[in-house]
Chain A
Amino acid sequence: MLSVEGLRSRYGRIEVLHGVDLEVGSGEIVTVVGANGAGKTTLLRCISGVQPASGGAIIFRGEALKAIPAHRRVGLGLAQSPEGRLIFTSLTVEENLRLGAYLYADERVERDMEDAFAMFPILREKRNLPAGGLSGGQQQMLAIGRALMARPACLLLDEPSMGLAPILVAQIFDVVRNLKSLGVTVLLVEQNAYAALRIADRGYVMETGRIGLCGPAEELIADPRIREAYLGI
C-alpha cells in the first residue's frame, strides 16, 4: 500500500533522513520505533507532505507522491494524526471532527462522527467545548478521531502515547489495534517501543536517520539487542 524508497530529507543544511526504506502492506499495523531524534517524526511528515523530501520516493497505492502537496494527499486516503496533536484549539471538538471530513459533504460524515464519539465517549460529552481546553489525552483522542474522519486507507500516527498517563496509553493503543479490524492500515511511530510492538504486525527500528533493524513485531520484541536498547528489559 505504501512504500518508501531511499527517502532523504533535511532541515536547512542538516540532513536528518539518510535514505530510509520502508514498506507498509494493506491491512497491516506497522510501527517505527526508535529514540528521540532518530527521524521518526520527519519520516511521517515527509509521507504526509508537510516536510519536503530531498531525495528518494514515496509511493502510495501505486502513485508517486513527490509532486502532490499535503492538502491533496488526504484525498488519496492518507491521513495523519500529527506529533503534538495540532488540533484546532480555538474551534469546538465537534468542529475539529467535522473539519477532519473537510473533503466530504455526504451523510456518511454524520455516521463517521457517531463512530468517533463511540470510540472516544469523552469527546461526545465535550463536543461543544473549545478543543484547546481538553486534557492532553483528550486532545490525542481528538487528533486520532479527526484523522479517521478523513476516511483514510492508511493512517499515520505520530507518538500517540506522548505525555499521557499509562491508563490512557492503553486505551489509545486498544483503539489503534481495533482499527485493523475496520480495515484501516496503520503506520505508527512511537518512542514507547514495547507498547507499539505489542500491537504491531511488523516493526522498524530507526537510528539517526536510518533503518537499523526490521522484522515481525514478535521477533523484535524477543531480540536481545532491542530488549536492551529500547525496551529496558
Chain B
Amino acid sequence: MPELLQYLLSGVTVGAVYALVALGFTLIYNASDVVNFAQGEFVMLGGMITFFAWQAGVPLPLAALLAILAAAAIGVLLNKLAIEPARGAPVASLIIITIGASIFLRGGAQLVFDKQLHRFPSFSGDDPLRVFGATILPQSLWVIAGAVAIFLALWLFFARTLTGKAVLATANNRIAASLVGINPNHMMTLSFAVSAAIGALAGVLVTPITLTSYDLGVAMALKGFAAAMLGGMGVPAGALVGGLLLGLIEALTAGYVSSVYKDAVAFVLILAILFIRPQGLFGRGTMDRV
C-alpha cells in the first residue's frame, strides 16, 4: 500500500515544521510562562528575508543565515520593546501583547516586502527520492533533520546546562531566580532570540516546499501552538511528538477522508486528547505545596 507510506512521509514532513514551531513556543514558555503568538511570524520572516536577500544576489546559504540572525534580532527587540516594559503584568496580558506584535510584524512584512508568494530553490535539488513505491522530496529530509537537530539541542540545553536550568528557574520563580544571581531579563532575551532563530530556521527549511508569503505566520502559530499543547507545553519531547502527530493526522485525513476536513479532524482529535490528558501527552502535572 504505497499510498499509506506516501501519506506518512508527507505527514512527517509537515509535522516536522509544526514541531519546529512548537519547539520555539517551548523555549519562551519555559522562560516566562508566556505563549508567544508571534512565533509564526518568525517562520514567515525566515522565509521572506531569505528570499529577498537571495533575489538581491546573496548566495542562498548566506541569505538563510542572514534571515535567521535578523529574526533573532527582531525577537530580542520584541522582548526589549514590548515584553520587558510590561514586566509584572499578568501572563494573559503578555500573551495579548504577543498577538499585537504578530499583527505588527505581519503588517510590517507586507510593507517592507510584498504580498506575493515566494520560493527559493531546494537545497539538494527537486528530484523526488523513491522509497518503497512512495516518494519524498530531498527538501523534506532537510526539514525532518532540522526538527530532530533542534529538538536534541534544546533537550540537551534544558537537561544538561546550567543556563538551561536558569531559564527554567526564571519561569518557575522570577524573584527566587534573581536571589541566586540569575538576571531574569537576560534569560528572557536569550529565549526570545533563540526562539525566533528556531522559527526562522523552520521558515528557511520549508519555503522551497510550501512557499512563503507575509501572512503565513497565523496558520503556523496556530498549528505550532496546537502541537505544543498536544505534546505538553514546555516539554521539548512533547513539542516534537505533538508536531509529528499533528502532521500525520492531517496527512492521513487528507488522504483517506478529504483534505477539506484535515484541520477539523486534527483539532477534534486534539480536543479529545486534551480532554483526557489536560497537561498534554508529555506534560508534567503541576505539583505545588504551600
Which residues on A are within 8 Å of B, measured CB to CB? 48-50, 69-72, 74-75, 79-80, 82, 86-91, 95, 98-100, 102-103, 105, 130, 132-136, 139, 146-147, 149-150
Contacts and interface: CB of A to CB of B under 8 A. Distances in A.
A156 to B, nearest CB: 9
B165 A132 contact: no
Chain B interface size, as a band, is 20 to 34
A135 B180 CA distance: 22
Contact of B180 (A49, A130, A146): A146
B165 A89 contact: no
A89 B176 CA distance: 11
A2 B156 CA distance: 41
A129 B234 CA distance: 19
B206 to A, nearest CB: 32
Interface in B174-198: 175-184
Contact of A136 (B168, B177, B184, B289): B289
Contacts, number: 87
A74 B181 contact: yes
A50 B168 contact: no
B126 to A, nearest CB: 45
Contacts of B284: 90
Contact of B176 (A86, A95, A136): A86
Contacts of B184: 71
A139 B289 contact: yes
A132 B289 contact: yes
A102 B176 contact: no
Contact of B168 (A71, A90, A133): A90
Contact of A102 (B162, B168, B286): B162
Contacts of B177: 71, 88, 99
Contacts of B176: 82, 86-88
A88 B181 contact: no
Contacts of B173: 86-89
Given A98-B162, A102-B166, A133-B287, A91 B172 contact: yes
